[in-house]
Each structure stands twice: as C-alpha cells, then as structure tokens.
Chain A
Amino acid sequence: MARIIVVTSGKGGVGKTTTSAAIGTGLALAGKKTVIVDFDIGLRNLDLIMGCERRVVYDFVNVINDEANLNQALIKDKRVEDLYILPASQTRDKDALTKEGVEKVLNDLAERFDYIVCDSPAGIEKGAMMALYFADEAIITSNPEVSSVRDSDRIIGMLSSKSRRAEQGLEPIVEHLLITRYSPKRVNSGDMLSVDDINDILAVKLLGVIPESQAVLKASNSGEPVILDKESDAGMAYQDAVDRLLGENRDFRFIQEEKKGLLSRIFGG
C-alpha cells in the first residue's frame, strides 16, 4: 500500500516545493516508486523546480475531470528511475479540486506507486486542506522564525482535526518536522530561533534541518532537485532526511556553526 506524504507549512515561501522535489527524488533514488503531486492549482511551480516545465501537456485537474488519463498526465523524470510528476493546472483555481476527485486520483496512483508526495499550497484554505486530507504522513516545513513556526503549529492542528484519519478516527497522521533555511551562525547571534526553540513550541519529531544554502537557489533556477547536488550541504541534509524517513538513523549535521564553536559554547570558553 502506498504511503501518502504531504509536504505542508501554512506559511508560503518556506520551501515546500523545494522539499517535495528533494524528498520525492530521494525516495526514488532509494528505489521506491514515487510520484510528486502538485496541489498548488493556479500557481504551478513544481514543474519548474523539477525541470520538466516544457513537458506538461495534461495536468492534475484534467485527470480529475476525466479529460485525460493518468498515463497522459504523469511526467517521467529523465534523471531518476521510478520518479514521476503530476503537475498542477496553471489556468484553474483551487475550487477545481474536489474531495471525490482527489481521492479517485490518489487511489489510482496508490496502485502503481510506493510513495505519493503531495506538494501543498500555502495557506489553510481548500487547496491545502485537499493536499493534507488523505495523508498518512506529513512533513511540516518551517523556517526558524516566529511567524513560520506559528503557522506550522496551526497546520499541525489541522492535520489532527481536519484530515481523513482524524475524521474517521484512524491512527493519526505521522508528523515530521523539517526546518529549512537554518543558519547556526544567526542562531548563535540570537537572530534566529534554534532547533530546540522550535521543538519546544511544536513538539514534533525532527526529520531534518536544511541549512541556508546557495545551492538551493541554484538548484531551483536550474530545475535540478537540490538532493542531486551531492556536494552541497543542503543536498546532504535532504539525503539525511530521506534516510530518516525510511527508518535509518542519521546524526544531525549542519546545526552547529563549527565544532570549535560548539565546544566553546558548552564549556563557556
């Protein structure tokens, strides 16, 4: 049975699509048949991040409305085996998504894939609700700043009250916290919330900490999921997160400024 993972945040611009692309690609690299579904109807971005924008013919809404079948709409990634993208429609809005339609498409996808990664739009309105409704797991993406953390808190509340699992009294959605754009240096200077601060407020199991990195912007603009940039810190951090998602134990990297800084902080030197 396929696992449905929603990548969500509440707040916009924190890195949901970057994360969806990286995690989805990472799962496929690990040999899992994976599809990434763009739920941001009207503000399609995933195709750009994945570098397949020129190959979009049919989209998610076409499939819901039976104007195309899944095979016509799914775009196969050229770099990674077993990775597919289901793009959003750019000409429609979120009302094009219906619970029944989304359920039908997800059920069809579940027959062919191990993982379905749902890239949620920002906000707490219909699009975001549709993206999280059928989820088995959620990756809550948050930046280390107060408004992003509060919005994440709000969306975690939604996961436990507005999802199918909550409504039907099933086992709750497995929640993972992914902190993006983390800068240990700015944490140390007191400008940024630390991992501990965020954990204290959200109390969700930490999946990964992605450092603020030039590699992310470069990857986005070139249409390469950042996880494929194996030399970059962000790429390595995403790889760790994927490994943890698959049950591996990985130490957290990139959360200390440098080894010396850590020791001097602990021993007050």
Chain B
Amino acid sequence: MAENNIELKGSNFTLFVLSLINNDLSSVQQALFDKVQQAPAFFSGAPIVINVSQCEQEIDFLGLAEVLKSQQFVLVGITGSQNEEIKQAARQAGLAVLKSGPLTPIDVPAPSANANPVVPAAETTHIETKVKTQIKVQHQQTPATQFHHGQLRSGQQIYAKDKNLVIIGSVSAGAEVIADGSIHVYGHLRGRAIAGAKGDSSARIFCRNLEAELISINGNYKLSETLQETCWQQAATVSLENDQLIISRLD
C-alpha cells in the first residue's frame, strides 16, 4: 500500500570531496576559508563529502560539520575509510558512509602506523602544510577566457580580470592588453601586453607578429628597444623562467 506513495530510484550527483590529512579542524577551517574566498558564490550551499583515507586520527565529525557549515558547505557523508571505528563514529554523527568513487586514489596505510597516536613534531608541521595544499576542488571548471574580436586601437585598454585574454585581431601601438592569465593575440602585437598581472609567473604571451612597445609577465618587462633582438616581427611566445623573460619563435 504505502509503496505507491513514494518512488525510490538511484541517481548520480556531483559532490565536492575534501581530503583530510589530519584531524586539526582549525587548519581545515583556514584552508577552506582561503579556498572559498576565491569564489564564494560558487561554493555556497554546496554538498561535500569528506575523504578520510589519508587521515589516521580520530575525527570529531560534529565539530567538522560545524566548520563546514560556517563556510556554507553541507556535510553529506564520509568516504575512503577502512576503519570500522571511524565509520561507526560517522554514522553516529548522522553521516552517510559512501563507497569511494573513481576520483579517490586509495592509499591503504600501513597497519602498524594505524595505532600510533603520537606523531613526531617534524611530521606534524609537514602534515599541516599539506592540509592546505591538499584541499582541491574535484570538479571540472572551464578555465575562464575573455575574447575580443577586432582590432584594439590606440588608446584602448582591455583588462581580463582573473582570466586569459584572446584578441582576434591586432593590438595597435598605444593600446594596452592586460590579463591576470595569459594573452593571445591573433594579429600584430604593436601595443603593450601585460600578462600575469596579479603575479602569475606561469602566464604567457602569444602573438602572430611581435612588434610590441612593452611586454610584461608578473612585473618582469621588456621594452621594444630590447625586444628587437629576438623574434621581432615574427610569431612568438613569451614566458617567464627564473625571473627572465624568454622569447621564442612559434613557427
């Protein structure tokens, strides 16, 4: 009778997975805060699953749920646990225990290390720094790119904030293209090009014809005077290696 009132079916959902290295909630909170600041709207109210496969310590799940809630996440469950005690603790905290999906590489910890609660001091700091870098959003995000069709004239300026910039046309002398990411110019680059404006050293500049007044990556710049030595009026790419601008031919 009651079965007609409901419909029970399986479905797939995309969830964020947060990998924990240790049970230090304050470091988790700080790392999450830094991550969320990059895109507050993107993360707001997002369901999240904790991967505990790399954490061998006891975890305060209720405390963790609070930490996540304070950053606008909704804690759904845990995954990656081989330890029955941890699973039990999670269930008691009202969390689901999920089987590891394909995204999670399972590193089975050595059983002997499992029981040891005392971690040497040097290793602790190592682990703490690792927490911050380990929090990665396991979600495919398209890299942001800003496009400009047509010639950029003298006196005009484009700034691609937090993006790569693609100019389909030429950049005239006296024009300025700036991007926090890389810059591509499918035409003559006669003006100024400033890539990695917020400090990204891996940003690059590409152009079909290099005649720039100035090129700069992360504050390292060259003027046309010195640019004329290499790849002048040729298709070229500019990258930053050891704080040196490297200009090389594209063709």
The chain A residues found within 8 Å of chain B, CB to CB, are: 124, 150-151, 153-154, 156-158, 160-161, 200-201, 203
Contacts and interface: CB of A to CB of B under 8 A. Distances in A.
A154 B151 contact: no
Contact of B154 (A153, A161, A200, A203): A153
A63 to B, nearest CB: 32
B173 A161 contact: no
B170 A154 contact: no
Interface of B: 150-156, 170, 172-175, 188, 190
Q: Dominant SS at the A interface?
A: helix
A151 B150 CA distance: 18
Nearest to A204: B151
Nearest to A172: B150
A153 B173 contact: yes
Nearest to A157: B153
Nearest to B150: A160
A150 B174 contact: yes
A203 B156 contact: no
Contacts of B151: 203
A160 B153 contact: yes
Given A150-B154, A157-B154, A160-B153, A203 B170 contact: yes
A154 B173 CA distance: 9
Contacts of A156: 153
A154 B174 CA distance: 8
Contact of A161 (B156, B172, B174): B156
Counting chain B CB atoms within 10 Å of each CB, which of A160, A161, A203 scores highest? A203
Nearest to A146: B173
A153 B170 contact: no
18 contacts: A124-B155, A150-B154, A150-B172, A150-B174, A153-B172, A153-B173, A153-B174, A154-B155, A156-B153, A157-B152, A157-B156, A157-B172, A157-B175, A160-B150, A160-B153, A161-B156, A201-B172, A201-B190
Contacts of B153: 153-154, 156-157, 160
Contacts of B170: 203
Given A124-B155, A157-B154, A201-B190, 17 more contacts: A150-B154, A150-B173, A151-B154, A153-B153, A153-B154, A153-B172, A153-B174, A154-B154, A154-B155, A157-B152, A157-B155, A157-B156, A157-B172, A157-B175, A160-B153, A161-B156, A203-B151
A124 B155 CA distance: 11
A165 to B, nearest CB: 15
**CB-CB nearest 7 A-B residue pairs:** A157-B153, A153-B154, A154-B154, A154-B155, A153-B172, A157-B156, A153-B153
Counting chain A CB atoms within 10 Å of each CB, which of B150, B153, B175 scores highest? B153
Contacts of B172: 150, 153, 157, 201
Contacts of B150: 160
Counting chain B CB atoms within 10 Å of each CB, which of A154, A158, A161 scores highest? A154
A150 B156 CA distance: 12
Contacts of B173: 150, 153, 201
B211 to A, nearest CB: 10
Contacts of B188: 200
Nearest to A156: B153
Nearest to A150: B154
B59 to A, nearest CB: 56
